[in-house]
Amino acid sequence: MDDFRARVKGHRERLREKFLKYGLSSFTDEEVLELLLIFGTPRKDCKPLAREALKKFGSLAAVLEASPEDLLKIKGIGPKNMLAIKFVHGVARRFLERRLERKPYLSSAKEVYEYLAHSMMDLKKEIFKAIYLDARHQIIAVEDLFRGTVNESYVYPREVIERALSHHASAIVIAHNHPSGNPRPSHADIRLTKRLFMAAALLNLRLLDHLIVAKEGYFSFAEEGLLSTIEQEVTKAI
């Protein structure tokens, strides 16, 4: 028993030293999760728990996004190390979101995508976010507005616009994920973008972009020229 504890302690020390010396990029997903579990499990070999969690959920991101109830179903994961996982995930999300505040959207597009990828890429259900910007296109707030199937039947432009007005926003970026993994927009995505662009334009708000996030990457309506086409169509209509 003493030999086992010594080996576990030595392994943990090596993980800590590796992180301090080389950073997180030197870690496998299993090692990242193992170190998180260690924070809540002082005297236990956490490697099998990390391996089992990755096997059950499929990826590190999916483990981080898992509900507390689902994490506790894994034998050996208790309230303390579950809390460590959820706490670190929450801190990372807050850090990425706060890093965006008061930054110009166009010059921080990479950071916007990093935030969206962290919070949306591995979700099994669709989620719709709105990013609100001021007159200088600096980010004021990021909000989750709708969950479930995202299309023109379930996303209500009135609510998106009302939240924009409550933030005194001048522009909006919308985003949602594709759990299928393919970021290409569907016909419903394009119709939804047209409706939101028109609703925003009627109140002198600008829809700057619609981002679709997926495992295979992302799709930007602005970068791909689709938003310009929609703007021309809407301008003619109103």
Q: Count CB-CB contacts under 10 A for residue 8.
A: 16
In this prediction, residue 15 carries a pLDDT of 79
Q: How far apart are CA 91 and CA 166, in angstroms?
A: 26
Q: How far apart are CA 75 and CA 78, in angstroms?
A: 8
In this prediction, residue 152 carries a pLDDT of 46
At 58-67, the pLDDT tens digits run 888 788 878 8
In this prediction, residue 165 carries a pLDDT of 93
Do 155 and 172 contact (CB within 8 A), yes or no? no
Q: What are the start-end ranges of the H helices in 107-225? A: 109-120, 157-166, 187-202
The torsion angle over the Cα atoms of residues 208, 195, 190 and 93, rounded to 10 degrees, is: 50
Q: Which of 185, 34, 218 is nearest to 118 (CA)?
A: 218
At 219-233, the pLDDT tens digits run 989 889 999 998 888
- pLDDT at residue 2 above 60? no
In this prediction, residue 153 carries a pLDDT of 45
Q: Count CB-CB contacts under 10 A for residue 59.
A: 13
DSSP state of 108: G
Looking at the chain, the domain(s) classified CATH 1.10.150.20 span 2-94
**Residue scoring higher pLDDT (69 or 41):** 69
Q: What is the largest CA-CA distance in the chain?
A: 78
In this prediction, residue 156 carries a pLDDT of 80
Residue count of the chain, please give it. Answer: 238
Q: How far apart are CA 201 and CA 238, in angstroms?
A: 9
CATH class name, domain 2-94: mainly alpha
Give CA angle at 68 (48, 47), nearest 5°.
10
Helix (H, G, I), strand (E, B) or coil at 85: helix
Strands 139-147 and 206-214, bridge-based pairing: unpaired
Looking at the chain, the domain(s) classified CATH 3.40.140.10 span 102-237
Q: Which amino acid is at 177?
A: N
At 10-59, the pLDDT tens digits run 676 787 788 778 777 788 888 888 888 887 776 677 888 889 999 998 88
At 31, list the tokens: 């090692």
Strands 139-147 and 171-177, bridge-based pairing: unpaired
- pLDDT at residue 207 above 90? yes
Pick the CATH number of 102-237 from 1.10.3720.10, 3.40.50.1820, 3.40.140.10, 3.30.565.10: 3.40.140.10
Q: How confident is the model at residue 106 (pLDDT cuts 50, 70, 90)?
A: low
**Residue scoring higher pLDDT (110 or 178):** 178
Helix (H, G, I), strand (E, B) or coil at 175: strand
Mean per-residue pLDDT of the chain: 81
